[in-house]
Structure 1
Amino acid sequence: MATAENLLIAALCGVAGRAVHAKAPCDVAVAELRKITTDPRVLGIAAGGELGAWQANPVRYWSAKDKADLLDAAGADTDVRDAEAAAVRARLS
């Protein structure tokens, strides 16, 4: 069963992905992300998941770096992001 936090992370990644693919302006995308949450830890987990996937396989996850950048701009905690990215990168490598 998904936790409330997992649902927030999924929503953040979905919104970031749609924004990247639609080439939405950064300020518009960030505003949409902040409507979901302004919690830096949750934003950091979402950003780290995307960043770690991109670091592990940048061809397969080609848009993930841009999604991580949007999540960073929305206020992701960079320490949380980096820790999550390392864990995801290790799982995918």
Structure 2
Amino acid sequence: MDIRQTIGWNLRRLRVAKGLSQERLALEASIDRSYVGRIERGMENVTVSALEALANVLGVNVAELFSEVGSNSSRPPPLRSGRKPKNS
């Protein structure tokens, strides 16, 4: 797995664990949603400033995005589609 794929894998894993959509993550990091999608797919040479913004929103150190992915790790699951229920 190359470094772009590793960053994308970890970004998706952390984003899903926080329950954030790509759109919400992008909005809070002040970057384009399609850029987040390309990063997660390993198709983008992500900038250092984008990595910093994403890590800040996720509440992790930038180094966490570079963590090695185990060979037997399964792909992080997608978030449930649709709107979240309103808290009453």
The question of a shared fold, defined as TM-score above 0.5 by the shorter chain, is answered with no
Q: TM-score, normalised by structure 2?
A: 0.33
Tell which has more relative contact order, 1 or 2 (C-alpha 8 A, sep 6+): 2
* Greater helix proportion: 1
